[in-house]
Structure 1
Amino acid sequence: MDEANAARIEDAKLTHAAQEGEITALSLLLERHRAGMTAVALSLLGPGPDVDDVMQEATVTALRRVGEVRDPTAVGAWLRMIVRNACRSLLRNAAHLVPQANVPVASATASPEQWLEQNALRNWVWEAIENLSPALRLPLVLRHFSFRVTSYEQIAEACGIPVGTVRSRISQGRTKLAEALTATTDAAHGEASERVRASEIEATETLAAAERGDFGDLLTERWSPEVMLMRGKDAVGGRRHLVRSMNRDIAAGVRQRLVHTVAGRSLTVWETDILNPADDPDHCPPAVAWLMSLDTDGRVHRLRLFHPRARQVAHPAPALGCGTESDPAPAATVT
């Protein structure tokens, strides 16, 4: 057997192992092909810090998408394709001066979180994410796992920080994530899919309670008594404010429909469509993302809201859906 065939057989063996959840297999694959991946990045970007950024992004993408590899003997070409796509996206973004999401997905109907759910390594990845600081965790989670808040510009607006800070934190987050993945190799990993399912149920029950007029009771029962809606580093209001804002929207005929959930032990994101009444179709922006920090008991402790398709103004649309400028509640800074 020649050396090339032996390498392909070894690639196939490691790829199958990674797809079956063997933690060290993907790391070995990345090491085997790192030189080729780096060569692709250098050929497209030239020497510089962008190469490191793209290589980090490619590592995260490979972790999430290894289950999609159809020809395990050609996994090296697949890894180089991920790097090539990331480079091209970075170059396009730089040309337009407006960063956009560059995480590829396999189809128009499959979200990044759905692919994560299909990945046998998902529990290990989420355990590592939980080891990141809150300042790094939220931008990284939004970038790779949210459905609508994925571009650097959107994340900056959602978190209340400059785009350059977002890029820096995501880069740091990827580096720290790689370290955390190594550190948590032998740790017990919680079941990520169970958290997502539980959070989907929680979101559905929360929205249903709001429509019944029971939002206040649900918050009292399930959320932290110290829950705060935040804008930047400032608290906009607590439970009473949240209930008043939600009740106002419900009375106006506004409803929300859950479309996507991201759930960790310390951070949850609910992304919803906003359904306006027929006689007032522009009452609220078309969508909202609930960005929730959880306390040690898993209860919502801090809430930040972001309308990903809304035009950002001096006093963005407030509350759990929208509202009036006299009672603003836009998204907040991550600290």
Structure 2
Amino acid sequence: MIRETAEAALAEDTALTLAAQAGEVAALGLLLERHRAGMRAVALGILGPGPDAEDVLQEAAVTALRRIGDVRDPGAVGAWLRMIVRNSARSLLRATVPARPVDEGLHLPTTEPGPEQWLEQSALRDWVWEALEELTPVLRLPLVLRHFTTGVSSYEQIAHACGVPVGTVRSRLSQGRAKLAAALAATADTAHGDTDRRTRETSTQARETLAAAESGQFARLLTERWSPEVALLRGNDRVGGGDLLVRAMDGDIEAGVRQRLAHAVAGRTLAVWEMDIVNPSDDPGHCPPSVAWLMTLDEAGRVHRLRLFHPRPLPTMELLPVL
């Protein structure tokens, strides 16, 4: 009898996993419910009772949605979900260490194609971004930074980039994940945008922007492609417009500083460019080693709000106008 029950559970997990990989939101929801007790036990065992454990469970649900294609043994999905919770809980304990995005380190050993290739080909990714667009901007940005960037994913970094306390970040992430779950269910049967296309386009735009800067055409490009009302923000405070950005960029180019695109993501209303910074050999400390361009887009797809955030600032640097 026990063997028959175990076999039935294995068959159910397998069927639900395969359905979730095909994009069925209800199947993923059932999987999470089936394994919620085991996931909660792992979180409580590491973090103890309290809001941290609940945060980890919410984060695991978002991770599972984006990474369900990694599961190569559908019958082992329970162990995979518990591993996600374990990794997330341990990351929370190491609060001073930036959390890696969910695109890294949370999958069982796989064969080709790898998880990155699967995500690029999967309709699930488009579905997630379509649901993200249903959130308010204040909830959308922390979720995108936490789950889609490579260098602005810790609570402290998100708080600094958004100009709010860490506690506010945690609250917004919690609210955002709950609303994201509802938005996913609401958009399951609607047409989803092509996130892969948007990412390719924003990557091209980032490289063209850097090329224009290096050739002295940065001001012209901003005039042609960005909103004339573009605002440069530090946290939530406006510190200038396009003229300040042009002066800062031109100054860095003249000093021999160069930026190189490392990672980019984009939806209809939000884009993030993560750049590596190469300083001149005679002034290696001129700029921090990296910068993230956090851009809000208007209805025409033009940048009209920009935050520049250095994930690893120099000890004595000024946030602006240094890029």
Calculate the TM-score normalised by the size of structure 2. 0.90
Is 1:72 paired with 2:71?
A: no
| 1:256 alignment partner, one of 254, 259, 266 | 259
Contact 1:113–1:262 (8 Å) recurs in 2: no
Question: Does structure 1 retain, via aligned residues, the 8 Å contact 2:126–2:192?
Answer: yes
* 3-state secondary structure, aligned to 1:189: coil
SS of equivalent residue, structure 1 residue 161 = coil
Q: Map 1:9-158 to 2 at 5 A.
A: 9-93=11-95, 98=96, 100-101=98-99, 103=101, 105-106=104-105, 116-117=119-120, 119-158=122-161
Query: Are 1:190 and 2:188 an aligned pair?
Result: no
CA offsets per residue over residues 83-134 of structure 1, 9 Å max, x none?
A: 22222333343xxxx36416552389xx998774354411111111111111
* Residue among 221, 224, 230 paired with 2:224: 221
Q: Describe the superposition over 1:252-272 as per-residue Cα deviations: whole angstroms up to 9, x where unpaired.
A: 111110000011111111000
Are 2:132 and 2:140, in contact at CA under 8 Å, matched by a contact in 1? Answer: yes
Question: Is the deviation greater in 271-280 or in 255-264?
Answer: 271-280
CA distance in 2 between counterparts of 1:85 and 1:19 reads: 22
* Alignment partner of 1:300 is 2:316: no
Q: State the alpha-carbon separation in 2 of the partners of residues 188 and 4 from structure 1.
A: 38
Partner of 2:279: 276
Offset of 1:138 from its aligned partner? Answer: 1.0
Helix, strand or coil at the partner of 2:35: helix
Shift of 1:33: 1.7
Shift of 1:167: 1.3
171 and 270 in structure 1: CA distance in 2 versus 1, 3 angstrom threshold:
same
Aligned residues: 314
Deviations 1:255-314 (A, max 9, x none): 11000001111111100011111222211111110010111111100111011111465x
Q: Is it true that 1:176 corresponds to 2:179 in the alignment?
A: yes
Contact (CA 8 Å) 1:124, 1:184: kept in 2 or not? yes
Q: How far off is 1:136 after superposition?
A: 1.2
Structure 2 counterpart SS, 1:224: coil
Aligned-residue offset at 1:48: 2.4
What residue identity is the alignment partner of 1:208?
Answer: A
Q: CA deviation at 1:43?
A: 3.5
- Following superposition, the deviation at residue 179 of structure 1 comes to 1.5
* 8 A Cα contact 1:113 1:145, kept in partner: no
2:117, 2:292 → 1: CA distance? 18
Moved more, 33-42 or 243-252: 33-42
* Residue identity matched to 1:197: R
For 1:128, the aligned partner's letter is: A
Q: Residue 28 of structure 2 aligns to which amino acid in structure 1? A: L
Cα distance in 1 for partners of 2:198, 2:230 equals: 21
Separation (CA, whole Å) in 2 of partners of 1:118 and 1:77? 25
| 113 and 146 in structure 1: CA distance in 2 versus 1, 3 angstrom threshold | farther
Deviations 1:54-77 (A, max 9, x none): 110110110111111121111111
Query: Would you say 1:164 and 2:142 are equivalent positions?
Result: no
Q: Is the 8 A contact 2:269 2:298 kept in 1?
A: yes
User: Are the equivalent residues in 2 in contact too, given 1:113–1:146 (CA < 8 A)?
Assistant: no
Q: Which runs of 5+ in 2 are unaligned?
A: 108-113
**2:98–2:151 Cα contact (<8 Å) kept:** no
Quick check: 1:86–1:103 contact (8 Å CA) kept in 2? Answer: no
- Deviation at residue 51 of structure 1 after TM alignment: 2.6
User: Normalising by structure 1, what TM-score?
Assistant: 0.87
Write the letter of the residue equivalent to 2:91.
S
The answer on 1:203 being equivalent to 2:206 is: yes
Q: Is the 8 A contact 1:65 1:119 kept in 2?
A: no
Q: Is the 8 A contact 1:23 1:121 kept in 2?
A: no
RMSD over aligned CA atoms reads: 2.3
**Counterparts of 1:238 and 1:74 in 2: how far apart (Å)?**
52
Residue 284 of structure 2 aligns to a residue whose secondary structure is coil
Give the counterpart letter for 1:190 in structure 2.
G
Q: Deviations over 1:209-239 (max 9, x none)?
A: 1111111111111111111111244322222
Identity percentage over the alignment? 67
